[in-house]
Structures are given as structure tokens and as C-alpha cells.
Amino acid sequence: MSRFPLPGLPLFILILSLWGCNPPAEETASSAAAAAPAAGPTAAAMHQARYAAAASEPQNWVNYGGTWKEQRFSTLSAINDQTVGRLGLAWYAELGTLRGVEGTPLVVDGVLYNISAWSVTTAYNAATGEKLWQYDPKVPPEYSRITCCGTVSRGVAAWNGKIIIPALDGRLIAVDAASGSKLWETDTKLPGQPLSITGAPRIANGLVVIGNSGGDVGSRGYMTAYNADTGEKVWRFFIVPGEPGKADGEASDPVMAMAAATWTGEWWKQGGGGNNWDGIAYDPELNLVYFPTGNGSPHHMKFRSPQGGDNLFLCSIVAVDASTGEYRWHYQEVPSEQWDYDCTSQPLLGELTLDGVERKVLMHAPKHAYFYVIDRETGELLSAEHYVPNTNWSSHVDMATGRPVLNNVAYPSSEPVLLSPGFGGGHSWNPMSFNPQTGLVYIPAQETYQVYSVADELNFRLGSSTWAGGRGNPDLRRTLNQQMQDNEKGYLLAWDPVQQREVWRVPHPHSGNGGTLTTAGNLVLQSTIRKTLSIYSADKGELLWEQPIDSVAPGGPITYEVDGRQYIALNAGWNSALVYGLNEGGVPFSYAPARLLVFALDASGVQLPPPPAPAELVAPPATQYPEAQVARGEQLFAGTCQLCHGQNAIGGLKDLRYMTSEVHAEFNSIVLLGTRADKGMPRQETLTEAQADDIHAYLISRAQEDWQGGFMQ
């Protein structure tokens, strides 16, 4: 049994008590069959699965990363390097959306819990795909306006008969795992703050721990823990300091003076940022919660901390007591963060033998292209090396100070430069995995670039982008934009964290590939930008099996077992990540509606519908607009639209250079009246009709610049 019994509950009560009751479903929860058996494990089963790690309950996938160590490693091995060729599609579920779906499903004792766009959560029989219930939190459509990037959710949490749903609009909602009926609800947002939730909550010592998104639109980041049984707030830790002299009355108060000493000016009036919008890990032995933090807000330091400073706790790993939220240690990976190098990708916990000594470590591969190995007991930096080449932002990490040594090109000015890594990073949020048997970490790596400069001023507006990139020297910018697109690449990278070196890689035609899963069957699984699920040998990277899935699965696959049969599941729902060159040969990149796909050995007889035919690319209107109007539109686009539609109007959730004649005709109605709010495009209340005209003129001008007779360059 577990060495970490749940506090306050004798073991015999845990063994005897059921995981949850089955009250009537609310109007937002629909049941597929009234006579369906109650779904969910006993409290003892959940107790074991959560605290004794996956070795005792490998049939379940009870946490975002599989186990508390977030390794995305499974000991199941029926599907292995010898049997993988027998895989077939066992069942699938239509998710009813063309929006991005990034969630990692959970599986608890034969029931699969999945979250889709707009935080809609569904329970399925994990063996057959029968829908047991569905809960729609009814997120208001206007939340897509302040959410970067898309109406996505990365996962739910499971605890003591409950499924904890992180609603995009900032609510945490606990529903009964057996019926989907609501048990409690709490709002995690501070009043007046442009906050949302896109990350997956974690359970730590009976508490639900969650961060918020919003660092791109002027919010102040914090982490909060709630009682998982009641929804009551237990502690909160602010990531950046507030107004000097004003205590928050929270767990972070004792260290806010230390943090404030690293800021200058009046940063608190513009939020500060630092939001944790993705990774969280929990170590039950040390009773520590680790959370990586995000970018500054405003992005460029001169607008938020004009006299410099490290700006704690931006782009850091922070460790706090899981029960109280009290600070234990931090390591700042990017002091003075001003490159949109969010350090929020998930950390992996593990044990590595370094210099003959086994160490409890935290492994991290954030955007700025360093792989970190950190002592998770003390926060001591043990090693840091580039995991992708061709980065010109910095040369190395100084092991004496722990600070990256920046190259001159990294310091922003009004003159554009080509900087690597770009906003997408060497590795973004897409989950990586660690196989203790091979000793390798499997990273969805990429080489990305950005055209980087800073504007002279920022017209700050709460809820709008705080990027404020420069717009000067358009000819040079155009040249650099092309270089940015030409040099981008992606690959699956097998990394040795002890030797800090590449062992093997599998090249992909572009970046934007999905997260990874690794298993005791000597397998690594990844969805690719080629719209496939691909399986490789974990030791050598040899392609063993590949299946078209008609979309890209940005998140990571999982594996589980029901009645002795092993399954693989993943969400295939392309999130339109910032990837260049997808519309190759004049054929636009097309993809199927989002689906949950489940595979098993010797499965047959289930086929996906035919993939959608690609739409025809349409040349942009020939209308020429005054240079002054295009310049105004460029500034407005950067502050209002860029979060979702890409820097310089390239890529994003919807590449607006490819608008059809119908969309051009309806442009102002879509933007100002919200006529396509049902498709995720809410009305922009802050814009006037003249401003919408300016943005439209800029977008047409950008399309004209890039149009090459059948495709965009």
C-alpha cells in the first residue's frame, strides 16, 4: 500500500468507502443511459493510484503526466516493439468542434474522462467508447478574446469521487465522477483581471492547485490551492509583487519584499505577468509543489521595469509547501524575461545518478532552449545545456551564477533582428516524457525564430496584448520574416539528461508536432505535423508503426488497461499553432473535426470518415490602401489581434491572409458585431468601425506582400 496515506482517513475507511455517490444530473450534464453502472474507483483505488505511483495501478492514468512525477511513462508493455504492428482503431468519439483540443484524458478504473474546447468534459466507457455523461460549463464566448491561444484546456483532475474541471472563464468546477452532476464551483479570478484557465489542475495533498492564463494581456500571475472536497481556498502565492507597502494577506507575503527589490517603476499598474498557464508537479515525499512561471507583462522590460532588474519570479521554477503555499526555493531561468520565453512547460521529476550520487531532480526544457537538471530538494542547479542548436539569444549558462549569458542580439531595440528561439521556443507546452529504462527524455523539439524589436511606446489597455513590438524598417522586416519561415524546423529529440547530449532525433517537415508518451514496451509515441500518430522504438528512434489520423494531436497520448487489454488514446484536434509553410504547393493545410481516438491490439472494423478536401486558395483583393492607414492597422492588429492570429499576421488560430471573398465582405460585421462568435470569434467591443477598416486594410496589404500566385510565401 501507499507510504502516503490520505490525512485524517484510516486505511480501512479508505478501502471500504466508495469513490462517489450518484445524485441526479444537472441540466448541463446529460446521461447516455440511466441504467449505466456507477463510474469511478473506490477511494482505496484512487489512493493507491495517486500515492503509490503507477507501478501498483498501471491500468489507470490518474494525473496529467500519468503519475505525480509527470514522466508520461507507463509500465504497461502488451503493446511493445514486437506487437505494435497489430494496432488498430478500437473506437473514436467526435468532439463536435474544429477548435483546438489539447487535453490529456484521464482514465480511472475503466472510465475515461476527457476535456475538449470550451472546457466541455465527457466521461466514456474506456473499453467501448459509450458516452456516460457530459458536462458543459457554458463558458461565455467573449472569453476567447482574452485567451491565448484558443479556447483550449489541457486536462482535468480526479480526486475522491470527483472530476475537477478547469473552465476557460476561470471557474473550477467539481462534478460527480459517476454522474457528471455539479458538486461545487469556485471562481479563481481576481476581480477586474483578464484571467482564464487553460492548464490542467493537479491534486497535491488533497488540494486542487491551479494557475491562470493572462500574462499576455496585463494580468498579475498567481497560484492557488483549493480544498478538493469543498472548493474552499486554502492558500495563494503571487508570482510577481503588487504595489509596494500593500500586503496581499497570502502565503507569498513573506517573500514579496525580496521580489519587489528586483523591479523598478510602477509595474503593478500594468499587471506584471508571470502567470503559470501550464506545468505543475507535486512531490508527496517532500510535500512540495513546483510551478514554472511565465513571461512578463508588458512583455518588454522598458515598459514594466524601466530601470532594469531580474523581475522575480518571472520565468522561474518556484517550490512551495503543498499544504500552506509557503515559499521553499526558486530558480530563475530567464532573469528580466522580455522575449516571450514562457518557462511554463511541465517539469519532470525523477532520480538521476550524477557523479556517482543518486539525486532527486527536476528536469525542465523551456522555450529558451536549455535543458535544466535541478535538485528538487534545494533548487540547486546541477546542469544546463542547449537541447536545440542554432540559438543566438545566449551562448551558455554560467554555472557559478546560474544565469544565461546573453548575446548582444538579445537586447531589444527599434531595429528588427532575427532572434532564435522564437515565440514558439525550442520546446513549448507540448508534453515531453522520460523513460527510466532507457534514461532518455523525449522532447517535441523545434527550431524557431522571431523578428524581434521594440516600439517606442506602449498604449497599455487592460485585456489587450502587451507585446509592443517595433514596426520600423519594413524592407528589412520583410527579409527577416522570410528567413524566419525558411529556417523553422521540428523533430522528435531523444535527450540524455545525465550526459546532457542528444542521442537520436527523428526529423519532421515542420514544427508544431504533438507531445510524447513512452512505455516499458520500448516505445515512444508522438502525433506529427503530417497528421499521423507515429510510434518509434525508445532506444533507437526507429519508426515501428504509423497511422493517419486526419489532424494533429498537440497534446500527448496516454495508455491504460481495461480487463487485461491495453489501449492508447489521444485527442486529435489541431490548434493552429504558429507553424510556417503548411500550405505547401498551393494546397491549404486541412484537417478533420476534433476527435478522441483510441487504439488497441488486433482492433478492426472501425474506420474514420474520409478526411475533408482542402479548400481552394483565393488571391487577396487588389485594392491598394494608403500607407498611413496600413500603418495604423498594423498597430491595432498587434494590440488586438496578434495573440490569436500571429505575429505579422502569419499563422495563428486563423491565418487571415487567406480570407475568402465572403469573409472580406463580412469583415466588419465579424469583428464589430460578433457574427461568428459561435465559431470562437467574439465581437471586439473596443474597436470603432474606422479602426476595423484600418485592420482590414493592413491584412489585405500583408496578403498582397506574401501572395505568390497560388500560395503565400
Active site residues: 340
Helix 627-640 and helix 689-706, axial crossing angle in degrees, nearest 10: 100
DSSP string, 73-116: EE---SS-TTTGGGEEEEEEEE-S-SS---PBPEEETTEEEEE-
**Residues paired with 213 in a beta bridge:** 196
How many CA within 13 A on the CB side of residue 186? 18
Amino acid at 587: V
Give whole-number Cα distances, 454 to 193, 412, 417, 569, in Å: 25, 6, 10, 43
The DSSP letter of residue 669 is: I
Q: Collapsing DSSP states into helix, strand and coil, what is residue 121?
A: strand
Q: How far apart are CA 409 and CA 413, in angstroms?
A: 9
Per the CB < 8 A criterion, the answer to whether 74 and 559 are in contact is yes
Closest to 144 (Cα-Cα) out of 99, 179, 109, 103: 99
What phi and psi values does residue 661 have, to the nearest 5 degrees?
A: -65, -35
Per the CB < 8 A criterion, the answer to whether 414 and 497 are in contact is no
Q: How far apart are CA 219 and CA 681, in angstroms?
A: 22
Q: How far apart are CA 358 and CA 339, in angstroms?
A: 35
Torsion of CA 84, 85, 91, 95, to 10 degrees: 80
Q: How far apart are CA 322 and CA 334, in angstroms?
A: 25
